[in-house]
Amino acid sequence: MPARINVNGALGPPESAAISPLDRGFLFGDSVYETLRTYGGRLFLQREHLDRLRRSAEQLGIPYDNAPVDVEREIGRTIAEAALPEAALRVLVSRGPGPIGYDPEGCGPPSVVIYARPCPEIPGAWVREGVDVAIVRVTRNARSALDPAIKSSNLLNNFLAWREARRLGAYEPILLNEREHLAEGASSNLFLVRSNRLLTPPLEEGLLEGITRGLVLDLARRGGIETSEEALRADDLRGADEAFLTSTLKGVLPVRRCDGWPIQHGRPGPITLRILDLFEERIQAETKAGSAPDSIRK
Ligand SMILES: Cc1ncc(COP(=O)(O)O)c(C=O)c1O
């Protein structure tokens, strides 16, 4: 399947893509990114992703508007050129190349990199049966250190947590914050169900405001499911009636076990199944040719 990489408008196969070793994205992880995917060949929730990309850049003071190319236009070109049945995209904007010190003076313009590849498929068994998570010792970056709300490409915190989870035989780590409250996964947000209420940590706990998280909260509320964003602890997850993860590439993914112990009966519960249905309906509605994307209500 033809993957394609676009670097500042130069579009070709991954082998021919090149970026300066003095790019701050490479040197410091001084860049921001988004992961998007298509359903039925159409980008899902593109506006929300591009808005968050711009917000992340602004929070780091990366001058997004000085980018040498129009990000949205280049996304369209890259997808068209890759011609994949379903594409996963990584869209990255770095501060650009410059002197090797921290001072951003003389740095730039920003580099724009767009990587289109075949969308990885989530095995049906994972959705039907759930995946295993582990609460790891690596804690989520403090908001005062590197705010997890910024989707930066400085992903060592996430990677170290992921590596610990894999050592423990789990698919996804669950990170706590410095107050030992549940924050999120390495590349996902976390939801629990307790007494028929859908619970998820609030943004103040230090986590990415996931686009899928926002959509799930909206779908649940419109579907008459009571939701609450509240501080939660490890034992709330271990003792939950149901749990699931959300992300652009994972969609809605039930959790079967936490730290080796089953969540309730160890299979997706009724609220998780209902959310999966609502999510699927939304994808169908949005990918129907000609349908205008519905915005997510907060
Ligand atoms: C740390 C983290 N939290 C949550 C998410 C889920 O976000 P979204 O639903 O916007 O993909 C991601 C996605 O990659 C992530 O990296």
User: Is pLDDT of 289 > 70?
Assistant: no
The CATH number of 4-118 is 3.30.470.10
Pocket test for ligand 1, best of 38, 152, 187, 207 (most atoms within 8 A of CB): 187
Strand 10-12 to 197-200 pairing: unpaired
Task: Note the pLDDT of residue 8.
Answer: 98
Residue 214 Cα: closest atom of ligand 1: 9
Q: Are 200 and 159 within 8 A, CB to CB?
A: no
Structure tokens at 40: 């039925």
Closest CA to 213 of 243, 252, 182: 252
Task: Give the model's pLDDT for residue 160.
Answer: 98
> Looking at ligand 1, which atom is closest to the CA of residue 151?
16
- Residue 65 Cα to ligand 1 middle (Å): 24
- Residues 27-85: tens digit of each pLDDT: 999 999 999 999 999 999 999 999 999 999 999 999 999 999 999 999 999 999 999 99
Would you state the pLDDT for residue 107? 96
Round to whole Å and give the CA distance between 214 and 297: 8
Q: Which mutation among 50, 91, 248 tests ligand 1's pocket best, with the greatest number of atoms within 8 A of CB? A: 248
Q: Give the pLDDT confidence score for residue 293 in this predicted structure.
A: 63
Buried b (16+ CB within 10 A) or exposed e, 232-266: beeebbeebbbbbbbbbbbbbbbbbbbeeeebeee
As a dihedral over the C-alpha atoms of residue 239, residue 129, residue 41, residue 68, rounded to 10 degrees, the angle is: 40
Atom of ligand 1 nearest to the CA of 148: 1
Nearest CA to ligand 1 atom 5: 188
Angstrom distance (rounded) from CA 39 to CA 276: 15
pTM: 0.97
Rounded to an integer, the average pLDDT of 196-206 is 98
pLDDT tens for 16-28 read 999 999 999 999 9
132-167 per-position pLDDT tens digit: 999 999 999 999 999 999 999 999 999 999 999 999
Q: Read off the pLDDT of each residue in 230-241 and give the average, rounded to a whole number.
A: 98
Determine whether the shortest distance from the Cβ of 141 to ligand 1 is under 6 A: no
Top-level class of domain 124-286: alpha beta
Tell me, in angstroms, the distance from the centre of ligand 1 to residue 21's CA.
27
pLDDT for the residue numbered 80: 96
Q: What is the mean pLDDT of residues 82-95?
A: 97
Residues in the chain: 298
Residue nearest to atom 1 of ligand 1 (CA): 187
> Best of 247, 275, 279, 282 to mutate for ligand 1, by most ligand atoms within 8 A of CB?
247
pLDDT value at 221 more than 70: yes
> Does residue 129 register a pLDDT over 90?
yes
Ligand 1 centre to CA of 100 (Å) is 30
**How do beta strands 131-135 and 172-176 pair?**
parallel
pLDDT-above-70 percentage for the chain: 98
Q: Which DSSP category does 205 fall into?
A: G
Sorted by where each begins, the domain ranges of the chain are 4-118, 124-286
